[in-house]
């Protein structure tokens, strides 16, 4: 979800206004997935690198995240949406961490859409944490160290039951992964769009999905 800061700057607004506008795009994306029967939506919300931003901006982002979760709790329940959070959640402020845990538990039985927020997340960190988790698990059971397999690592990711993404969309014209789902996206199709995230409307998201489906159909026909 890239481009919030640039969106605000082009309008002469504080950066936080761009993040607030971005919340609307997140809600629109969630609704498109719900209506089109897409089972999993993962939004790169806050990276590990984002902790290096100015403290005032980070504090405001955490307050915005807490408000968003509090306001969306009822919507998630009404639409049978399960909330998940991926990342080093222990780094989140206690108030935000508690709200994340609360909504995760409250929506655990929902099945219409899995909404995953990558919070305090980094793809390399996830791989490192998975390796360390696997090693700690073996040590706790008294099992000697052994070479780790792909299956071992996959089983210790932040959300091992969530399937790899079919499509990754990067907004704002940037053509890079920015340390997002590095393990999971090995075979993922990529779409790069010029829209800044706050301008990425439900209609634009639907158009990207239609283009992706058309591309897959054409590829299948050629095969």
3-class DSSP string for 127-192:
HHHHHHHHHHHHHHCCCCCCCCCHHHHHCCCCCCCCCCCCEEEECCCCCCCCCCCCCCCCCCEEEE
The half-sphere exposure of 34 on its side-chain side, counting CA atoms within 13 A, is 19
Query: 162 and 142 in contact (C-beta within 8 Å)?
Result: no
The SS3 call for residue 112 is coil
Q: In what order do the strands lie in the sheet with 113-121?
A: 40-47, 113-121, 81-86
Residue listed under structure tokens 């994306």:
29
Q: Residue 110 corresponds to which tokens in the numbers above? A: 């929902």
The SS3 call for residue 2 is coil
- CA 173, 178, 120, 202 dihedral sign is positive
**What is the DSSP secondary-structure string of 29-58?**
HHHHHHHHT--EEEEEEEEGGGGGS-HHHH
Q: Count of CB atoms within 10 A of residue 47's CB?
A: 20
Catalytic residue ranges: 2, 50
């Amino acid at each position: 979800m890239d481009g919030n800061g640039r969106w605000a700057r082009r309008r002469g607004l504080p950066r936080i206004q761009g993040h607030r506008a971005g919340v609307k795009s997140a809600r629109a994306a969630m609704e498109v997935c719900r209506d089109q029967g897409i089972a999993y939506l993962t939004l790169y919300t806050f990276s590990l690198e984002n902790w290096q931003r100015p403290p005032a901006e980070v504090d405001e982002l955490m307050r915005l995240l807490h408000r968003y979760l509090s306001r969306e709790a009822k919507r998630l329940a009404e639409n049978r949406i399960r909330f998940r959070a991926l990342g080093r959640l222990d780094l989140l402020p206690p108030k935000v961490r508690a709200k994340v845990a609360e909504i995760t538990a409250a929506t655990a039985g929902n099945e219409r859409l899995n909404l995953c927020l990558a919070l305090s997340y980094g793809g390399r960190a996830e791989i490192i944490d998975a390796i360390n988790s696997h090693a700690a698990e073996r040590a706790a059971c008294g099992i000697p160290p052994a070479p780790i397999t792909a299956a071992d690592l996959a089983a210790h990711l932040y959300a091992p039951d969530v399937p790899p993404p079919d499509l990754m969309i990067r907004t704002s014209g940037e053509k890079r992964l920015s340390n997002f789902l590095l393990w999971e996206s090995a075979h993922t199709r990529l779409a790069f769009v010029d829209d800044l995230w706050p301008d990425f409307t439900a209609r634009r998201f639907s158009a990207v999905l239609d283009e992706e489906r058309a591309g897959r159909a054409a590829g299948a026909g050629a095969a």
